[in-house]
Amino acid sequence: MDLLKNVLADNDYPGRGVLWCTTGDGTTLGAYFLTGRSPASQARTLHRTSAGELIVAPSDAREHDHLRHYVAARQSPNWLVFGNGEQVSTVADRLACGQAPLLALDGLDYEPDPPIFTPA
């Protein structure tokens, strides 16, 4: 745990992170975190829906921005999809329709989000 803490502390902008592990008693544990450079990115919340989605949403009535507001994770009894953008919903929808994982990822590209190093 100290190694993870040091890696994050030494990074000005760790972005998003996913931790997936098995605890000492065999329980599976997952965690998702996000950080923000700009005030708008910092003004977001994470919440879980009853439909099995983890949503990154504005903490106020801000307009939707696809680079900052998205489904971060969606699960079913057979799979878990997580990521940092709207592609999570695309992949999850494809898997729900019965596509194989490789096909569910087909045709996706990186979202345009160049490093802007917004001051804290």
Domain edges within the chain: 2-104
Beta bridge partner(s), residue 16: 34
Closest alpha carbon to 93 in 107, 67, 74, 77: 74
Please give the Cα distance from 67 to 49 (Å, whole number). Answer: 20
pLDDT tens digits, residue range 5-15?
Answer: 787 777 776 67
pLDDT tens digits, residue range 61-101?
Answer: 667 776 778 899 998 888 989 888 889 999 999 999 999 99
User: Class for domain 2-104, per CATH?
Assistant: alpha beta
pLDDT tens digits, residue range 106-116?
Answer: 998 766 656 65
